[in-house]
Amino acid sequence: MKTRKEADSLGEMCVPLDAYYGIQTQRAMENFPVSGRKAHPLLIRAYAMIKRAAAMTHEELGRLDETRSKAIVAACDEILAGELANQFVVDVFQAGAGTSFNMNINEVIANRALEILGRSKGDYSHLSPNDHVNMAQSTNDTFPTAMHLAALMLLQQLIPPLRQLKHALLEKGKELRPVIKSGRTHLQDAVPMRLGDEFRAYGQAIERAIKQIDERSKDLEELAIGGTAVGTGLNAPPGYRKAMIRRLREMTAFKLKDASDLREAMQSRLAVSGISGALRGLALELTRIANDLRLLSSGPTTGLAEIHLPPVQPGSSLMPGKVNPVMLECLNMIAFQVMGNDLTIAMAVQAGQMELNVMMPVMIHNLLESMEILKNFLPILVKRCIEGITANEGRCRGYLERNPALATTLNPKIGYLKAAEMAKESLERGMSIRELVREKGLLTDKEIDETLDPSLLVDPEE
């Protein structure tokens, strides 16, 4: 393999001749061959935006000449167009704070800019990754800024599938509303309810989770850019922060603003913890809903079997005809992963020390992974599971007729203790409450119909 020699403060190394990355990236590749996983494309995109905005800002402020500025901007535009993606090679588990990744970005942009200027890769005396691409920047302020931008971009892709799921559950609630079934509390028979109302409640839970995510996302709009190393803004010229925020706002259309306290913006990653916590809350609700739907569809002969899930694949390599709730099982696993990612993020957030939290690379890897797997799967869940759910009306009706909790409706007429005796006797003798009340002559047939009318039981206010 043909190589070129590059030097940094630690000495010289050989770098592949065709590589756009340089010596510091090469060191990171040798130091951190950990997972084989590379940065999320949106983190790369966010960083390219920052470097592009910085070059334009420095030209505007008279600190970078037009020729170098335009070459850097052109290189950034290629990255934003999806080119050079194979040059971002640093593992997601890397040097603290993301210094290796920041230098990977700086070197790729510098070497591509040198090519654009008709010069050789590695000719850093003319255009340097540190002096020009990274001018007035530190990993310590660019990495958290890129984290926030990348998270906001991926949230834009996650919210529509979440709303699609909410809408599907609410629509299923309307469709199944005529079906009356036994409610359950403590996994025991409870008073009747509408099957559709059960689904409507699921939709409302997703709506609440969306609102929490939206609320927490506002904290990501505050950026640390301009704080450089410890929040003092050392080496950043007057006007740099405001110009950077303005340009990033124009590029993203987000309501970005500079941090109210740059020192806090270096030290604290509370905004990342907040959005991850909101995703954890969503994952808890998704797990609960998936578990309910698996229980409601369990059987078909020995479980509840109140609903039918669409069959999407054979469920057993041994048992012919078996069909499993695979879409919901997958949803469970995704939710567990999101919760695990949140724990990692929480541990990383509390691990900040003094003026910097160096655990940012693992935070953003886990945060973006959580959003990515949710964004990818939820539309499939809606199409291949939620929309195709149907009610087993006969099973719902059969359970309801034998439900001893119907004795609750007798409380106003015969009292709680007498109604409890009726529920107990109903179970012991295998008789419905209706049959038992008629046998004992406690109510007339008209009173029985009025008291035990399912529609009156599930909508008492109406």
Asked whether 194 and 458 are in contact (CB, 8 A), the reply is: yes
Q: What three-state secondary structure class fits 4? A: strand
Closest CA to 279 of 359, 339, 203: 339
The C-alpha torsion from 320 through 322 and 323 to 326, rounded to 10°, is -100
Assign residue 310 a region (left: φ > 0; alpha: ψ between -120 and 50; beta: otherwise). Answer: beta
Closest CA to 322 of 339, 303, 338: 303
Q: What three-state secondary structure class fits 44? A: helix
Question: What are the structure tokens assigned to 377, written together?
Answer: 């799967």
89: enclosing H helix or E strand: none
* 316 labelled catalytic: yes
| Residue 182: C-alpha distances to residues 198, 223, 244, 405, 460 (Å) | 11, 52, 59, 9, 15
Give the whole-angstrom CA distance, residue 54 versus residue 133.
8
* Residue corresponding to tokens 């990236």: 25
E runs forming strands in 220-274: 222-223, 257-258
Asked whether 346 and 362 are in contact (CB, 8 A), the reply is: no
435: CB partners within 8 A, 6+ apart = none
Angle between helices 360-384 and 326-350 (to 10 degrees): 160
Q: Which of 100, 138, 260, 316 is catalytic?
A: 316
- Three-state SS sequence of 96-109: HHHHHHHHHHHHHH
Active site residues: 316
